[in-house]
Amino acid sequence: MGNLLYGKNSNLNIQKCGVIGCGAVGATSAHTLLGSGLFNEIVLLDINRKKAEGEAMDIGHGAPFVKPVNIYAGDYSDLSDAYLVIITAGANQMPGETRIDLAEKNVKIFKSIIPKIVEYNKDCILLIVSNPVDILTSVALKLSGFEPSRVIGSGTVLDTARFKYLLGEHLGVDSRNVHALIIGEHGDSEVAVYSSANISGVDLDEFCQTCNKCGDRESMHQIYEEVKNSAYEIIERKGATFYAIARVVKRIAQALIRDENAILTVSSLVEGRYGIHGVCLGLPSVVGREGVKWIIDTPLDENEEKQLTESAGKLREVLEGLNI
C-alpha cells in the first residue's frame, strides 16, 4: 500500500502502527498483528524500555513465518508517521476490582502518554484498549484535541463476541451465524440487545421455540450475566485476559486499514443518540480508514433504551469525578 496522504499536511504510513504498553494485552496484540499482514512496521513502547525490547525480539523472531514486518522497541518520536497508535498501557485489573475502579490510576498514566503522542503525530488514529476503556477514550479525546472520529475505544466489541460465542454454544449453532449486540459501557452496566437478536435472520425468541434448547428468556439472561462477568472469571483463574482482546485489536485495525466500513460496537463520542451526550460508549458504528464514520441507530425496546441511558449516566458520573 505504501504511504497514505492522510489529513491536510501529513504523510502517514498506513502500514505502520505503534503499540504503547507491553504488558500481556499489548504484547499479545503486537504478536497477533505481526501475523495479520496488515502492517510492515510495528513499534513497541513501554515505560520499561527493556520489556519493550524483549517483546520486540521475541515476537520478531517469528517474522520469517509471516509477511515481512519490522518490529522494534522505540520512542514517541518513532510514532511521527504511524497511521495507527494503539494504547494498552495502564494498571492491571485486580481480582475483585471493577474496570471503573481503575479509572483514577489510568487517567494519570494517560496524562503522560497522550501529550507525547500529539507532540509527534497530530493526524493518527488512536485506538484505546486500556480499561476502563470508555472513560479512557473520553480522556484521550479531551487530551489529544483530535476529531472524535479518530479516537476509538475497543468498546463492547469483545463483549459482543463473547455474547455471540456463548449464544452459539447454548443454541448449538455456529457463533458466526449469531447476530446479537452488547452495547453501552464495557463493564457492569453493559446492555444486551435481545430485541433485535437473530440467528441467520430468524428472531431469537422464534429460534428458541423451535430448537428446544431454551426454557425461557431467563436462560438468555444467564448468558448475559456470564458475558458481563467473563473478565472477572478469567482474571480469577489466570490473572488477566489478553487473547480475545488481541483478536479484537486486529479486527478493528483491519476495518480501519482496509476501509471496510465494518459495523463494530466500538466506543466513540456519542452526541445525541438515544438522548445521550458527551460520553464515549460502545454502539454499532461504521468503521473505515478515517475512523468512525457514523454511529448506527439500532432499534431498542423501551427497557434496553432505559438501560443504555443508565449506563451512559454511570460513565458520565465517573467522568465528572475525574480531574482531567
Asked if 139 contacts 322 with a C-beta cutoff of 8 angstroms, the reply is: yes
Distance CA 322, CA 280 (A): 15
Nearest to 189, CA basis, from 299, 282, 287: 282
Res. 169: pLDDT tops 60: yes
Copy the grid coordinates of residue 42.
Answer: 510495528
Distance CA 131, CA 241 (A): 12
Give 112's pLDDT tier (boundaries 50, 70, 90).
Answer: very high
Distance CA 292, CA 151 (A): 8
User: What pTM was estimated for this model as a whole?
Assistant: 0.93
pLDDT at 80: 97
Q: Which of 7-11, 152-156, 208-212 has the lowest mean pLDDT?
A: 7-11
Catalytic: 277? no
- List the catalytic residue out of 31, 179, 186, 277: 186
The residues facing 44 across adjacent strands are 19, 73
Nearest to 287, CA basis, from 316, 313, 248: 248
pLDDT at 99: 63
- Secondary structure percentages of the chain, helix, strand, coil, to 5: 45, 25, 30
- Distances in Å between the Cα of 148 and the Cα atoms of 23, 41, 153, 286 are 27, 26, 11, 14
On average, the pLDDT of the chain sits at 92
